[in-house]
């Protein structure tokens, strides 16, 4: 008669219990690698940023105080991109700046690497490095966009940083000079003119009035300006020299 033996170790072996992904909370202090691991484990979270090693998660988005001006800015940048070769416009894309900073700006505009830009698209489809222009819609001058993020962007070489502060109804367009942001002064007509992207002109009064037609009319003047035509030729020359 055969005797059945019992392996006591196997009989009492506990079942594997799936480990819950760690939470991602505003105020957490994390490395960029751990931030990405937690962010990817929580697809229900639509926007989170790591600034100086601290997690920031914005409140629900207001229509008139954020979404509408955001849409106007993206439209403005989109029209400029359509008239200028070699550029890439992104809306709320992840940007890896350094080991403690991974941001998701409202919009950025960059020169593609094959046209001379420095930032690169990674194999997992994120931007590594600094785009030439970042735009943020901030609640007020007290927002972290105007303080911690501004320092991070300057340190990482973001050449221009535009912040629309909704409470004060103020647009600050910063230009990086010798590692420090200086505020771009408007011309005699009150128009702000990009130093990095010739022809990218913004009329703040039209922006605050919500007058998209006037915003785009000013932009069309910039696109027709000689400096924009020269910039287009410069970009074409750069890509042809690399091919």
For residues 212-219, average pLDDT: 98
Token pair in block for residue 14:
């506990």
Residue 7 has pLDDT above 70, yes or no: no
Phi, psi of 37 (to 5 degrees): -60, -45
Binned at pLDDT 50, 70 and 90, residue 239 comes out as confident
Task: Give the number of C-alpha atoms closer than 13 A to the C-alpha of residue 166, restricted to the C-beta side.
Answer: 17
Token pair in block for residue 99:
């080991």
Task: Provide the residue ranges of all domains of the chain, joining segments of one domain with +.
Answer: 62-242
The secondary structure of the chain in percent helix, strand, coil, rounded to multiples of 5, reads 35, 25, 45
Token pair in block for residue 51:
């600034």
Helix, strand or coil, per DSSP, at residue 113: helix
**Checking DSSP bridges between strand 54-56 and strand 49-51, what pairing results, if any?**
antiparallel
Cα(40)–Cα(161) distance, rounded to whole angstroms?
28
Residue 17 has pLDDT above 90, yes or no: no
If one compares 167 and 240, the residue with the highest pLDDT of the two is 167
Token pair in block for residue 181:
């942001």
For residues 59-78, average pLDDT: 92
At residue 144, the pLDDT reads 74
Binned at pLDDT 50, 70 and 90, residue 60 comes out as confident
Q: Are 207 and 213 in contact (CB under 8 A)?
A: no
Q: Are 103 and 130 in contact (CB under 8 A)?
A: no
CATH of domain 62-242: 3.90.1570.10
At residue 238, the pLDDT reads 82
For residues 32-38, average pLDDT: 92
Q: Are 29 and 53 in contact (CB under 8 A)?
A: yes
Provide the whole-model pTM.
Answer: 0.86
At residue 126, the pLDDT reads 94
If one compares 204 and 139, the residue with the highest pLDDT of the two is 204
Cα(231)–Cα(86) distance, rounded to whole angstroms?
11
Query: Using N-to-C axis directions, what is the helix angle for 212-223 and 68-82, rounded to 10°?
Result: 20
At residue 15, the pLDDT reads 57
At residue 18, the pLDDT reads 54
């Amino acid at each position: 008669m055969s005797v059945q033996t019992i392996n006591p170790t196997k009989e009492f072996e506990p079942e594997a219990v799936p480990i819950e992904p760690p939470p991602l909370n505003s105020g957490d202090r994390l490395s960029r690698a751990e931030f990405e691991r937690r962010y990817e484990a929580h697809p229900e979270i639509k926007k989170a940023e790591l600034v100086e090693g601290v997690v920031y998660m914005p409140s629900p988005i207001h229509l008139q105080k954020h979404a509408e001006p955001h849409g106007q800015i993206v439209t403005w940048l989109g029209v400029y991109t359509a008239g200028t070769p070699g550029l890439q416009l992104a809306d709320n894309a992840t940007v890896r700046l350094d080991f403690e900073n991974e941001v998701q700006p409202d919009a950025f505009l960059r020169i593609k690497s094959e046209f001379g830009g420095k930032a690169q698209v990674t194999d997992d489809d994120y931007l590594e490095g600094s785009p030439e222009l970042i735009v943020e819609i901030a609640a007020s001058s007290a927002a972290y966009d105007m303080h911690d993020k501004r320092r991070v962007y300057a340190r990482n070489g973001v050449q221009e940083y535009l912040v629309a502060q909704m409470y004060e109804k103020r647009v600050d367009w910063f230009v990086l000079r010798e590692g420090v942001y200086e505020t771009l002064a408007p011309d005699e007509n009150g128009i702000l003119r990009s130093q990095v992207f010739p022809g990218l002109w913004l009329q703040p009064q039209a922006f605050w009035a919500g007058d998209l037609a006037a915003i785009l009319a000013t932009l069309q003047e910039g696109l027709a300006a000689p400096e924009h035509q020269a910039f287009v030729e410069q970009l074409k020359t750069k890509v042809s020299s690399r091919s």
